[in-house]
Chain A
Amino acid sequence: MGNEKVITAEQLTKRFGDFVAVDAISFEVSKGEIFGFLGANGAGKTTAMRMLCGLSLPTSGKATVAGFDVFKQNESIKKKIGYMSQKFSLYEDLTVKENIRFYGGIYGKSDSFIKEKTEKLLQQLHLTNEANALVRSLPLGWKQKLAFSVAIFHEPDIVFLDEPTGGVDPVTRREFWNMIYEASARGITVFVTTHYLDEAEYCNRVSIMVDGKIEALDTPAKLKEQYHAESMDEVFLQLARKATRSDG
């Protein structure tokens, strides 16, 4: 992990009418860092992530992602990032190979790049025999691993992962994190949300959002020390229970 900052946010704010969804958050993420972005439902994680991905204009504040300004250069940001979520990741009625080609294509990669990298990727994922199978027919765990590989196929600076491991079995969940470590070792910055608090321990640093604000941000070890907690689960509960913004 170098000192190069690939995400910077300063007083970043998003309002919807009177409602302050994201309330002046400030933080930086370094190149190659695995950054956990935690918070209760309704804390503002998704809104913050949408701003950083260039999908939603902030109301005020400043932020850069991969060196580009989120206000003025959001189209450039989109080319430099990858995105995957539990809900949407791949086209179910395209084959494994077609999905890879599709994503490579929309990120403007050449045919030769796509062809060469596809073969390598299929081997790494042990999916060579399933190359022409519809994604729909794959088990969930395989789909999620393929989705992650597709999200970083164009070699983005940053990959945003929105609850990537929800509902996945414990063995595959760990294999998935192994892939995250490998991507991070290659210099890809990983920005990840999760409801599994044991996964917060796998992050270099973790931020916890409460009612639109970042209430805590540090390494898992330091957070546990600061909150006199045995586990990240306890840290999260202490902070999230303070929330006044009701999710019901």
Chain B
Amino acid sequence: MPAVTVDHITKTYGTKKSIVTALDDVSFHVEQGELFGIIGPDGAGKTSLFRILTTLLLADKGNAVVDGNDVVKDYRSIRNKVGYMPGKFSLYPDLSIEENLAFFATIFNTTVSENYHLIKDIYEQIAPFKDRRAGKLSGGMKQKLALCCALIHKPTVLFLDEPTTGVDAVSRKEFWIMLKGLKQQGITILVSTPYMDEASRCDRVALIQGGKILQINTPEGITQQFGRKLFAVKSANMLDLLHQLKSINGVQDAYPFGEFHHVVLKEGVDNITMPPNTVSKEVKPDIEDCFIALMKNNG
């Protein structure tokens, strides 16, 4: 039995005059013990999806099952079993680190000591400040405390909504190491992120944009399906180079990509003559290349 099954879920907001479709016929499933990423920009529908799966929001159409329970009929049992870390900091700012953790353990009828093994590695990093009020913590410490509170009742499925947004590159890397540790303890994890480079840390990912799933696969599977030749090119004048590249026959798309421009060739084209005085090499696409291609195909 999959840990999560999402079956043709649609969610709209607003009145007849102006309807916003947050989720448009979304279907996927997540296996037990899987680390599953929902990757997409702001406004893609990630938070609506998480709220539906954590029984905080009703879908217009479709149904979803979490750990064997229907999100509408069995919402009470889901609430007892899952862990949810919303994108917005949602702990009690007036309670200390220690008090917040004890509070969440108590409302789930458990104790901090019972499941301490789950949070030990993370909690030890903030324990020196355990008497500090949550509202006075730095961003990174808030994030770690929120994760501990979402874990303390030993959830079967953990939902993390954009845990790394606004977090610097070093802390982001550390956070993904923590998630890997939790996965090894058998917890199924659904995590959303707007950072494309985090996709490679997941077992499988769903790329989502404008309420629609563009693709679901392993990170390798997604990049293998790119199906076009891709080159990284640079020269002394990058802005001129971009215009030159776009005008070459056989070029499907060209866009800045860090130090280089990436040039996507049209289907069936194996090579092109690069503009003079450029350095170029064939490269493998990464998730961001795939996302750009999928967005442009769908748009």
Our pick among A195, A220, A237 for the contact of B167 (Cβ within 8 Å) is A195
B107 at the interface (CB under 8 A from A): no
Beta-carbon contacts under 8 Å, A172-203 to B:
172, 174, 177, 181, 195-198, 201-202
A140 pairs with B42, CB closer than 8 A: yes
A248 pairs with B170, CB closer than 8 A: no
Q: Which 3 A-B pairs have the closest CB atoms?
A: A248-B141, A248-B140, A169-B41
Chain B residues near A218 (CB, 8 Å)?
none
Our pick among B125, B141, B170, B257 for the contact of A241 (Cβ within 8 Å) is B170
A146 at the interface (CB under 8 A from B): no
Q: Given known contacts A167-B194, A195-B166, what 6 new A-B pairs fall within 8 Å (CB)?
A: A168-B194, A169-B41, A170-B288, A170-B291, A172-B41, A197-B169
How many A-B Cβ pairs are below 8 Å? 100
B41 pairs with A167, CB closer than 8 A: yes
B173 at the interface (CB under 8 A from A): yes
Residue interface mask B161-183, A partner, CB < 8 A = 1: 00001111111010000000000
| CB nearest neighbor in A for B41 | A169
B62 at the interface (CB under 8 A from A): no
Our pick among A41, A202, A241 for the contact of B256 (Cβ within 8 Å) is A202
Residue interface mask B266-299, A partner, CB < 8 A = 1: 0000000000000000000000100110011000
The interface stretch among A19-27, A65-73, A118-126, A228-236 is: A228-236
B169 pairs with A201, CB closer than 8 A: no
B15 at the interface (CB under 8 A from A): no
A contact residues, total (Cβ < 8 Å): 38
Give A84 Cβ to nearest chain B Cβ, in Å: 16
B72 at the interface (CB under 8 A from A): no
Chain B residues near A195 (CB, 8 Å)?
166-169
B259 at the interface (CB under 8 A from A): yes
The interface of chain B, by Cβ under 8 A from chain A, is 18, 40-44, 125-126, 129, 137-144, 165-171, 173, 194-196, 209, 239, 255-259, 288, 291-292, 295-296
A231 pairs with B258, CB closer than 8 A: yes
Chain B residues near A42 (CB, 8 Å)?
138-140
Our pick among B141, B168, B259, B291 for the contact of A220 (Cβ within 8 Å) is B259
Chain B residues near A177 (CB, 8 Å)?
256
Chain B residues near A248 (CB, 8 Å)?
125-126, 129, 137-144
A171 at the interface (CB under 8 A from B): yes
B255 pairs with A174, CB closer than 8 A: yes
CA–CA, A236 and B165, complex, Å? 18
B168 pairs with A40, CB closer than 8 A: yes
A240 at the interface (CB under 8 A from B): yes
A168 pairs with B258, CB closer than 8 A: no
Give A193 Cβ to nearest chain B Cβ, in Å: 10
Residue interface mask A121-151, B partner, CB < 8 A = 1: 0000000000000000101110000000000
Chain A residues near B258 (CB, 8 Å)?
197-198, 201, 231-232
Chain A residues near B139 (CB, 8 Å)?
41-42, 247-248
